Amino acid sequence: MSDLEDLYREIILDHYRSPRNRGELPSPPAHRVEGFNPLCGDEVVVTMVVEDDRLADIKIGGTGCSISQSSASLMSGAVKGKTLPEVRELVRTFKSMMSIHEASLEGEVPDELLNPAELGELAALQGVVKFPVRIKCATLSWNALVQGLEELAQATP
């Protein structure tokens, strides 16, 4: 167990025990999306408010394993207040990190991905998502966020 893996584990546990942006925004006006991961039993409720092309507010509800809940908490802190192009870029970066892990049958973290600056604390998730089944836990809240943004985009021509 390396120091970096220890640090990553600490970040995951911290967000699991003290989740950020926990709760539900009143809906309406907030947009509400539910996600479910049957492989693990994780549930997530993402409520979000978009104002002037910016993700003005986001809250996370639901229950599940430490990976799903800490990933949702990390996501909420990373995207809250960002412009929608910034949010989409972060989602793209995060999901590429996850899909590289999905492709890694060895379960090894590729060196070049360690602690990428643009991910900040989100990099912690690469330290635990070593098995394909856990990737669904880590991406659950992100998929709900993307679904919500798409639904909002369709609702506002």
Residues found near Zn ion in the complex (CB under 5 A)? 40, 42, 65, 68, 137
- 3-class secondary-structure state, position 110: coil
Residue placing its CB nearer to Zn ion in the complex, 46 or 87: 46
Residue placing its CB nearer to Zn ion in the complex, 55 or 69: 69
Residues 6+ apart with CB under 8 A from 138: 67, 68, 71, 98, 125, 128, 129
Residue placing its CB nearer to Zn ion in the complex, 8 or 42: 42
Residues 6+ apart with CB under 8 A from 125: 8, 12, 67, 70, 71, 74, 94, 97, 98, 138
Q: 64 with 40: CB under 8 angstroms?
A: yes
Residue placing its CB nearer to Zn ion in the complex, 42 or 76: 42
What's the min distance (Å) between Cβ of 21 and Zn ion? 19
What's the min distance (Å) between Cβ of 64 and Zn ion? 5
What's the min distance (Å) between Cβ of 43 and Zn ion? 10
Q: How far is CA 147 from the centre of its chain?
A: 13
Q: 27 with 148: CB under 8 angstroms?
A: no
What's the min distance (Å) between Cβ of 17 and Zn ion? 16
